[in-house]
Amino acid sequence: MLQKIRHVKYYSGRDGRLPGGNMKLSGRKKFIYYWLPVLLYCLLIFIQSSYSSPENIPSLPYIDKVIHFAVYAILGILFFRAFRTQRFKENINMVIMLSILSSSLYGMSDEVHQYFVPHRDADIMDFLADVMGSICGVYVIKFIKK
């Protein structure tokens, strides 16, 4: 019996992208690409919250709430992006819920942290701005990814 022989083309880095689509990332590369930005951004928020409140904030009304909203919208987007790499990635409702919950809980922990920082205080309105920013960021990225 004759066997069918198939020609196999070997891939080299000079050939550009693989013809079959995206390459699978290893566990370490997946962590670095998707989860490390989340952790670094959370660290950045924590460090910024550890300082006393700046004295020269622009005198625009509710500017601090807008900043909270924007910061946690970005955090929600980062969580959404990271959770899309998990086993349950096809369950978009689970990804949305976990992204909003994770970024909102981090917002709550940040407000508790600020309570113990001199010249800072915990504010429920800041927490609500964090939650609203998380929700908005997650839904914006969901619709962009569609």
Listing DSSP states for 28-69 in one string gives HHHIIIIIHHHHHHHHHHHHHHTSPPPS-----TTHHHHHHH
Output the pTM of the full model. 0.79
For residue 31, the one-letter residue type is F
Whether the CB-CB separation of 72 and 131 falls below 8 Å is answered with yes
What is the per-residue pLDDT for 4? Answer: 58
CA 115 to chain centre: 24
Q: Mean pLDDT, to the nearest integer, of 127-141?
A: 97
The structural domains of the chain, with segments of one domain joined by +, span 26-50+62-145
15 pLDDT more than 70: no
